[in-house]
């Protein structure tokens, strides 16, 4: 598994010095625990994905250009096309995470920025694997899986009633 990680916003390392190691650990946990859905391109040779730790301005541009939403968001995932042959290397896709939004949401939810970053990585990887949360049925599959993966990392389930701190999001999705 090759996880390419790029820092577009140095503030990540000021606020979460272990951000790169944490992001890799969260991505590996999601990949190890999540079954593939909807034909996501996981079978084949070497597996890779890319994570960009960026800022609100970058995520706003991506969100505007690719989703038609002219606002920053916490995480965006861009699944790659499946490999042509089963034995070819497989790039799952790219994930971008916004520093300011993640820190603001963590503060609002009384959770650590590191825990919220891990959640956003897990959330992004699950999107690359074919999961979504746009309908209640999709959310009923994706959200419990996020909780299981996060608990494995020692982080409270953001959708459940864990007895870990910060266990429940207020209304709305990550």
Widest distance between CA atoms in the chain: 46
User: What range does the domain containing 7 cover?
Assistant: 2-152
24-36: b (≥16 Cβ within 10 Å) or e: bebbebbbeebee
d(CA 110, CA 92): 32
Instruction: Tally the domains of the chain.
Output: 1
Structure confidence at residue 62 (pLDDT): 97
The answer to whether residue 130 scores a pLDDT higher than 60 is yes
CATH code for the domain of 13: 3.40.390.30
d(CA 34, CA 126): 7
pLDDT digits (tens, 9 = 90+) for 142-168: 999 999 999 999 999 888 754 444 434
Structure confidence at residue 170 (pLDDT): 38
Q: What is the pTM of this model?
A: 0.87
Task: Give the pLDDT band (50/70/90) at residue 174.
Answer: low
Residue 135 is assigned to a structural domain of this protein: yes
Residue 99 is assigned to a structural domain of this protein: yes
Residue 171 is assigned to a structural domain of this protein: no
SS3 92: strand
Residue 172 is assigned to a structural domain of this protein: no
């Amino acid at each position: 598994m090759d996880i390419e990680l790029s820092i577009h916003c140095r503030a990540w390392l000021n606020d979460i010095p272990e951000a790169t190691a944490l992001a890799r650990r969260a991505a590996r946990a999601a990949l190890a625990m999540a079954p593939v859905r909807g034909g996501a391109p996981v079978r084949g040779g070497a597996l890779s994905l890319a994570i960009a730790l960026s800022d609100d301005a970058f995520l706003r541009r991506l969100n505007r250009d690719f989703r038609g939403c002219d606002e920053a968001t916490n995480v965006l995932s861009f699944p790659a096309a499946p490999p042509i042959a089963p034995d070819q290397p497989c790039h799952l896709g790219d994930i971008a995470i916004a520093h300011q939004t993640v820190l603001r949401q963590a503060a609002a939810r009384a959770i650590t920025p590191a825990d919220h970053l891990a959640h956003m990585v897990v959330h992004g990887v699950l999107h690359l694997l074919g999961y979504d949360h746009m309908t209640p049925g999709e959310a009923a599959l994706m959200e419990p899986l996020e909780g299981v993966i996060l608990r494995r990392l020692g982080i409270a389930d953001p959708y459940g009633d864990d007895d870990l701190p910060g266990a429940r999001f207020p209304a709305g999705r990550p």
